[in-house]
Structure formats: structure tokens, C-alpha cells
Structure 1
Amino acid sequence: MEETPALHSIDGTVDAVIFQNEENGYTVLRLEVGAPEPVTVVGCIPGVAPGEGLTVTGTWGRHASYGEQFKAESVERRVPAGEKAMLEYLSSGVIKGVGAATARRLVEEFGADLFTVLEEQPESLTKIKGITRKRALEIGASFRLQMGMRRLLDFLSANGLPLQLGMPLYRRYGAQALEVLRDNPYLLVDEELGVGFSAADQLALRLGMEGDDPQRLEAGLLFELSHNLMNGHTFLPRRKLLWATGALIGLEDAGPLEDALTTLVERGEVVRESIAGEDACYLAPMQEAEEYVAFRLAEMAAHELLPPAGLDGLIGRIEAEQGITYAPQQRQAV
């Protein structure tokens, strides 16, 4: 059995960003750690720039072409401190509308208060010659985007969630991503994000959500219906749905779950129908899809369907292209 690499932490200041993928946040950077040579750090650290302080937790490894690297699993980021680091950070181009010359004037004008001004009082940037009110607001907006991403990644790291979630969450919710996630951690239970219900539920409880909070109950019900699609079930009987959800979230009293289910039905997210004596509960898109399939089958059954001309030749070409041979019963079914 292969031994799991030990986790280590290193602390330093970003010297240079060698590569950064804007789509997924994958980054290669050099980190000054007080040693003769900087450390190469790789991992998901979107928006990072020279001058930032980082505490990186991860594992050491060796790349066949690039040598020793430190692979980041979690990252704590610190706003650049001191005029030199602030100047280096802003001169990197990480803030739209700010180049090296503008960065120097901003640092000279506002000093240690600069980042507070950028985030909270961007109109004050008009004190700098050549910065109009419009440009000042744009610079402030760009800086807030950077701070939003930084706080989102800090939140993910602190809660043991993959840093790779940062970019898709940011693309979806923008600068409000952290606020949206705090309001509804169950948004993480999404095919694109790939976070399991258990992890999202633990986060919600850690953030102070009560065990019988309606948001938690609704999320549990929707998860059970979605999860059972993988088992071939387009609906679940109401009794089974309530029991399974109660077992999932550790709630024995079905009353609150009944109320949550009623709310989902009223909002149109769940559809209830009587089928063969069962109170069936569907995700709304599944009920709509099932109705459509039934309608199309009925429509097809009402007309005589004739095979297309040259069917045998068509089947032969498909077999040749796909490298298969249909059994006699399969040919007949086609």
C-alpha cells in the first residue's frame, strides 16, 4: 500500500507568478521563504500576484522537467504589507487600470491606507492626477473582485473544501460568491462542483444552521430525489422520500419534512401525483420529461410505422462503422 505523503507548511512572499490558468485558477509561482532559492509552488491560487504573503500547506514532489515543487492543498493569503510589497503587488497588473506608474503614485499618496481606500473609498483616487471618477470606480471594482476571490479561497481552505471550487463559484456568482455560499451551502451539491451532500451539510451545520432549518430539509429532499435518478427512479413514493431524507439528515420527526415538501411543491420544484395508489414525488423536470415520453409513445402508437427503405443495408453500415454484430433478436428489434 502506497504511503500518503506527509503534509508540510511553508510561509513566504510571492516573488513571481510563472503561469496562471484563468479558467481553473491553476498557478505556478515562486515563493520567497528566506532560503537562498525561492520555492516553486503549484496549485489552485487564482488571482495571486507578487508581493502577497502566503502560508501554503501541501506536499513536496518532483516534476520530471522542472524539478522540486511544492503542491498546495490549502493556502492562507495575506494582503501585501509595507509599501514595497504593495507597490510590487499593484505593479503586477492584477488590478485592472493600474500599471507601475499609477501604482507608485497611489502608494505615495495613500501609504498604508491604500487598500482600505481602494475597497471602501475609491472616489478618493481622483486625488491622483489623471484618474477620473469613472476610472477610480473601475479600479475600486477590480480591487473588490480580487478581495472577493481572496476571501472565498480563505473560506474554502478554512473549511477543508477544495480550492478548485473557487473559479467555478466565482464564474457563477461573481464577487458575491462567498456571501451566496454562506447563505446556502447546499449550492455546492451540484454536478459541476462535485461536492457531496454530506460535505455541504457539515458546512451548513458548522456555519450555525439548525438541524430542522427549512433550507436544510428542502436540500435533503431534493438531494434524495436527484440521487435516486442514478438508480433509475424518476420518482419516489412520498413515504419513502420522507423516510430516506430523515435518515440522511438524522431527523426522526416527519412533520417538518412534510412542511418542507409542501413548500417545494408550491414553488414548483417538486411535483406530486397519484400513481397506482402511491403518492409519487418527482423533480419537476423529471415529471415533465416522463409526460413528454408518454405523449410521444402514444403518438407513435397511433400511427403505422414503416421501416425505412434499405434498412438491412443501413444496419450493415452501422455494424461495420462501430465494429459490432447485432444478434438476430436485436436486428428484429431495430
Structure 2
Amino acid sequence: MLLEGTLERITYQSDDDGYLVARLTPSGKGYLVTIVGKLIGVRPGETLALEGEWQEHREHGRQFLVSAYRTLMPATIDGMRRYLGSGLIKGVGPATAQKITETFGKYTLDVLDHTPDRLTEVPGLGRRKAEVIKAAWRAQQQIKQVMLFLQDLGLPTGLAVRIYKQYGDAAMDVVRDTPYRLADEVYGIGFLTADAIAAGLGVAPTDPQRIAAGLRYTLGQATEDGHCFLPADELVRRAANVLNVESDLAETTLNDPQIVGEVEIGNRTPNLEPPTPLPVYLRAMAMAETGVAAALMRQLRAPSTIADFYAQARWPQVFAYLAERRAISLSEPQQQAVRMALTAKVGVLTGGPGTGKTMTLRAVTTLLAARGYRCLL
């Protein structure tokens, strides 16, 4: 549904995402309506063309929920005066806006757009203040141009606002030149959305930046399934399927570090037959895995009085103590797990529901408490 009108006042606006609650007078009407949504850079006095739908809020009544918007420049001198004096432009309040519109009349906006140096013709407006107004006007027009460009790509207003917040005035250049950066750098935009944007901009299906982004996306999806890496041949096969391209193209891109980006190809485990697959990681995941391995090695090398003590334990007596004095009876696998936990410096306890993990852990903490240790769980 379309709604056009003049923005009268902004009741609330978030600095984070541009979400606002405002009052608007629909064109040709004499009453106010409430509009809500993510609109960035709008000011009272502006004429807005809105797309969205009416909704009934439980507390605040009827509201127009904005899904997309455009700013229409005011056509009347009074509208221009209100627009310029709304706080939109640094250095221009109601009094200065009055002087500017009195000086240039219906050509006010044309002067600001094309011959802003003429602002010095306004009585009482010096060159320094004219330069401030000129720069502020240019900045506001840039915001509107960027938002219009993003919405013309079919992006919802919320995503367009996020992109602008991320890149500012460079947003148009980033989206046009490197649209797949959005998937890596803007929250809420994944590869599939970035791919649709790129297609709308005419990026070819075989473009190297698309193939590289598809490889990173495929690795990211694998991490969602719990994998730290994918074998290179498996990655190529999956990515080619996602991208609908030949596997050779995905493989060539994977092997070009200048194109593929934040991806790291690991090494095969030596001296194994058959040879292990070549692992491919997202760089952040490779760093995380290396960090975890280093931390484990530090733990293994560190001295442990607990492990040293329980290495000499008489385990039949230990388990008898647990059963008779603590009512903790353990199966053979549970006993093995307790021994591992208390004699190894690092251990992992796994098992499905009902397999005895809780009882095993209780046995471990009971024995440690008996030795005066506190356990952090």
C-alpha cells in the first residue's frame, strides 16, 4: 500500500538502526497519522512517499508500518522553508530558512543543488556559514541518494539502513563494486541475499568474487553442522552445487589466495595410508582450532598434583568407598571414565541421554572434594 504526505514531527528515533515513530499528514488530508519503521535521514517538513501496510497496535492504535520510502522534495515555498528549518541542515534554523526562501523563492532547492555559492546573497549569511550549509546539504543529499539506490535493488528498508550504517557514504561504491562483502560484514545479510543483489547488478555467475564468496559460504554452512573444516574435494563439490557452476572453476578459485579471501588450506597428516584429505578452513576457524590445540598442549605439559596422586590410587578401594559410603555405584565404563578424569590432565566425557554422565561426574567431584579441592562446573 502507498501513503504520501508531509512529515510533521518525529516522536522517537533510534540512533542505532534508524527506527522511528512519527506523525505525518497525508497529502490532501487535514489529519495526522502515525508511521513507524526504519527511516534514516528524514526530517519534519519533508514530503515522503511510503510503502507499507496499516496495522493495529494493541496500545497505540492504528499505525502505518513502513517497508520502503522515498523523499520527495517540497514543491511550495512554505514547504521549503519548513524543510530547511527543521534541523535537517547544520547552521539552518527557522530564521535562516526564512531568509533563504525569501531570497530565492521557488528556486531555493535548485540553488542549493546546483549553485550553492549563491548562498552568500542571503542577507546576514557570511561565506563561512554558507560553506557549512553547503557541506551539510551535500551530506543529506548523499544519504538520500544512497538509500534510494539500495531500495531500488529491492532491499528492505531495515537492511538498507544497516548497509548505510556500516559503510556510510561509501555504501553505493561497496555494493556496486564488491557486493559479496555484505555477506561477511553486515549483520543479517548472508550469501544468498548478497548473491541476489549481485545478480541484480549484473555480476556474472562465473565472476571470481562470486565463486570465492560461495566457497566461504559453503564452509560457513559446514561449521553450522559442527565441522571445523571440509576436505578440499568435498568443499569444491558442495560449492559448485550451491553456485551451479563447474567444479573446475570452484577448484581454481580455491587455489588462488588473492581471490578466495579468508580461507586457509591446511596440511595432510603425514605418514598415513591412505593419505588424509587436504583440509580447508575458514581462517577464523583455523585460528580457533590452533588456539585450542595450543591450550590443550599447555594443560598437558603443566604439573598436576591431582593426576600424580590418583595415578597411585588403589581403585578397587576407591570405588568401594563410593558405593558404600556415598551411594554411588558405577558400571565398568563409568569407572573407566572416573579413572581417566582423575589421572589425565585433560579429558572429555561424552554420551547420550541416560548413559550415566551425571553419576560419573558426581563421583569425580565427590572424590576431589574428599581431597579438599573445589570444583568449578
Instruction: Normalising by structure 1, report the TM-score.
Output: 0.82
Partner of residue 252, structure 2 = 259
Partner of residue 329, structure 1 = 360
Match of 1:19 among 9, 12, 16: 12
Deviations 1:133-170 (A, max 9, x none): 55434333322332232233323333332212244323
Report how many residues are paired: 309
Q: CA deviation at 1:111?
A: 4.3
- Which segment drifts farther, 54-63 or 258-267? 258-267
8 Å contact kept, 1:265–1:271:
no
How far apart in 2 are the matches of 1:120 and 1:271? 51
How far apart in 2 are the matches of 1:307 and 1:81? 82
Q: CA deviation at 1:172?
A: 2.1
Partner of residue 299, structure 2 = 300
Deviations 1:258-284 (A, max 9, x none): 332233367762211223421111122
Residues 49 and 265 (structure 1 numbering): CA distance in 2 closer, same or farther, change over 3 Å?
A: closer
Partner of residue 31, structure 1 = 24
Greater Cα radius of gyration, structure 1 or 2: 2
How far apart in 1 are the matches of 2:115 and 2:209? 36
Q: CA deviation at 1:126?
A: 3.6
Higher relative contact order, chain-length normalized (CA < 8 Å, sep 6+): 1
Partner of residue 234, structure 2 = 240
- Which segment drifts farther, 139-148 or 258-267? 258-267
Match of 1:102 among 91, 96, 107: 96
Match of 2:151 among 133, 153, 157: 157
Residues 236 and 132 (structure 1 numbering): CA distance in 2 closer, same or farther, change over 3 Å?
A: farther
Residues 109 and 40 (structure 1 numbering): CA distance in 2 closer, same or farther, change over 3 Å?
A: same
Gaps of 5+ in 1: 1-7, 309-325
1:285 aligned to 2:284?
yes
How far apart in 1 are the matches of 2:128 and 2:254? 49
RMSD across aligned positions (CA): 2.7
Matches for 1:134-283 after TM superposition, within 5 Å: 134-190=128-184, 193-251=187-245, 253-264=246-257, 269-276=262-269, 277-283=276-282
How far apart in 2 are the matches of 1:16 and 1:231? 48
How far apart in 1 are the matches of 2:260 and 2:203? 22
1:91 aligned to 2:89?
no
Instruction: Normalising by structure 2, report the TM-score.
Output: 0.73
Identity of aligned residues (%): 35
Does the residue aligned with 1:50 lie in a helix, a strand or coil? coil
Q: CA deviation at 1:31?
A: 2.2
Residues 123 and 260 (structure 1 numbering): CA distance in 2 closer, same or farther, change over 3 Å?
A: farther
8 Å contact kept, 1:148–1:178:
no
Matches for 1:127-138 after TM superposition, within 5 Å: 127-138=121-132
How far apart in 2 are the matches of 1:267 and 1:248? 16
8 Å contact kept, 2:166–2:186:
no
Residues 224 and 109 (structure 1 numbering): CA distance in 2 closer, same or farther, change over 3 Å?
A: farther
Does the residue aligned with 1:165 lie in a helix, a strand or coil? helix
Does the residue aligned with 1:225 lie in a helix, a strand or coil? helix
Match for 1:257: what amino acid? A
Gaps of 5+ in 2: 270-275, 308-356, 366-374
Deviations 1:213-247 (A, max 9, x none): 11111111111122222112121111111111111
Residues 223 and 144 (structure 1 numbering): CA distance in 2 closer, same or farther, change over 3 Å?
A: farther
Deviations 1:45-66 (A, max 9, x none): 1221223222212111222333
How far apart in 1 are the matches of 2:239 and 2:302? 44
Match of 2:62 among 54, 58, 68: 68
Does the residue aligned with 1:278 lie in a helix, a strand or coil? coil
Does the residue aligned with 2:171 lie in a helix, a strand or coil? helix
